[in-house]
Amino acid sequence: MATYSDLDGIAAAAAIDEARLWSHLVGFGEIGGIGGGGVCRLALGEEELAARRHIASWAQSRGYRVFVDPVANLFVRREGTDPGAAPVITGSHIDTQPQGGRFDGAYGVIAALEALAALDGASVKTRRPIEVVAWTNEEGVRFTPGAMGSMVFSGALALSDIAGRRGSDGVTLSAALASALAATPQATFRPTVPPIAAYVEAHIEQGPELEARGIPIGIVEGIQGVRWFDIEVSGSGAHAGTTPLSRRRDAFQDALRIVSALNDWTSDRGDVLRFTVGRFDLTPNSRNTVPARASLGIDLRHPDANVLREKGDRIAAIAAAAARYCAVSVREVFTKAPASFDAAVIGTIEAATRLLRIPALRMSSGAFHDALFLNDVCPAGMIFIPCEAGISHDPAESITSVQAAAGARVLAATLVALAGADGDVR
């Protein structure tokens, strides 16, 4: 038997307006647009403040209240019938990479605003309030660390510890936050975090899987874990013309042996494990000098904690054994265990896709998202939509209006289910 949530979820999904959503996405992408479909909206910068103003005035014109917190996370609140109930939160980020695309982050915010408009259009009342959030500084380009807004919100990071930091342009974080708060004067300052019923984030996949399989929705079960290692290879500098090969301690040649051995160690027939040497520096990096030192930055990722432990724990020993002439030191500089999203939220998203008869695939996220940190403080989940060729963090990032609307429909029905239709028995 269909519940009120089901009926209201179908009604809300049906009220998603594909053309309205698409023109909102395209128009929003012009804020900080750099041509060729690209966007540069660095966190708390002028263009990003313009995007905040746009969201706040959109909300105000539709009668929603707007809130802002100490780290300038921006919330648009649609009230529920039970004013004391903990809200369901949905959203993503509106900052971009310097040469970013129009949809990374922005899709999750604009699709969530469309979901609010659809709930209104279908006259759906929910018991819980629904809040759309734009998290501050997910990308971590101008200020570090990334996911700053969601980390501070969830208590993973204290704002007082980072407020004095300077951005890449020399502006302090506290000054940049003050200008962001001033940009939306209609927002009520909310210094403390309210209890949250659930969090769901819609996002482009930023990978090729959904498109390759022709599936419109990804139900994200978790975010893979990551370990970062710095490897230093120390040999001896020497003249490239006078030093016989037999007398060299060439750090570059040993670094090649190390990378080759690690490629073997991390090769994965299932192509799930991600091993990247993303940074490589030589000293002195001069054509006619045998390199004295090589420095490698390694990124290792896998959704299974056991695999991540097994593969990562042997990296130091394999690197040391592979070097023939040089000393090797390996240091682990960052680690984040794989995260699993809440089973009930995953099930609610899956139920929404069935209700709407939209094909969906359960999958793991290869990239970090704000939802990773929300997952520590409330039941959380994510909805992916495909993006063209998996390209992201690039002006070529692209989705279709049909894909955008399908994700918004699933999001709307999921929000109704999480927030509870007013008529449901509870």
Instruction: Compare residues 41 and 302 and give the one whose CB is closer to Zn ion.
Output: 41
CB of 367 to Zn ion, least distance (A): 7
Q: How far apart are CA 359 and CA 220, in angstroms?
A: 14
Q: CA 229, CA 265: separation in Å to the nearest integer?
A: 15
Q: How far is the CB of 41 from Zn ion (least distance, A)?
A: 12
Distance (Å, whole) CA 107 – CA 263: 36
Q: What is the DSSP code string of 172-207?
A: BHHHHHHHHHHH-TTSEE--SPPP-SEEEEEEE-SS
Q: Which is nearer to Zn ion, 104 or 250 (CB)?
A: 104
**Residue 104: CB minimum distance to Zn ion, A:** 4
The CB-of-199 to Zn ion minimum distance in angstroms stands at 15
Judged by beta carbon, residue 39 or residue 290, the one nearer Zn ion is: 39
> Which residues contact Zn ion (rule: CB under 5 A)?
104-105
Q: Which residues pair with 302 in a beta bridge?
A: 225
Q: How far is the CB of 163 from Zn ion (least distance, A)?
A: 24
Q: Which is nearer to Zn ion, 355 or 385 (CB)?
A: 385
Q: How far is CA 266 from CA 46, 240, 262, 274, in A?
A: 43, 33, 6, 8
Give min distance, CB of 103 to Zn ion, in A.
Answer: 9
- Contact of 282 with 254, CB cutoff 8 Å: no
| Distance (Å, whole) CA 366 – CA 206 | 8
**Cβ neighbours of residue 417 closer than 8 Å, sequence gap 6 or more:** 5, 6, 9, 348, 351, 352
**What would the two tokens of residue 326 be?**
């040089």
CB neighbourhood size of 245 (10 A): 8
Q: Residue number with the shortest CB distance to Zn ion?
A: 105
Output phi, psi for 225, to 5 deg: -85, 165
CA distance 55 to 33: 17
Nearer to Zn ion, 41 or 249 (CB): 41
**For residues 274 and 270, what is the distance between their CA atoms, to the nearest angstrom?**
11
Work out how close the CB of 93 gets to Zn ion at its nearest, in angstroms, rounded to a whole number: 6
Q: Do 234 and 293 meet the contact criterion of CB atoms below 8 Å apart?
A: yes
Let me know: does 88 contact 130? Beta carbons within 8 Å: yes
Question: 198-204 and 238-239: which strand pairing?
Answer: unpaired
Cβ nearer to Zn ion, comparing 6 with 114: 114
Q: Please state the closest distance from residue 372 (CB atom) to Zn ion, in A.
A: 11
- C-beta closer to Zn ion: residue 25 or 294: 25
Identity of the residue, 137 or 353, whose beta carbon is nearer to Zn ion in the bound complex: 137
Nearer to Zn ion, 149 or 237 (CB): 149
Give the nearest distance from C-beta 353 to Zn ion in angstroms. 22
Across the chain, which distance is largest between two alpha carbons, in Å? 86
Q: How far is the CB of 318 from Zn ion (least distance, A)?
A: 33
Q: In terms of CB distance, is 126 or 154 closer to Zn ion? A: 154
Is residue 52 classed as helix, strand or coil in its secondary structure?
Answer: helix
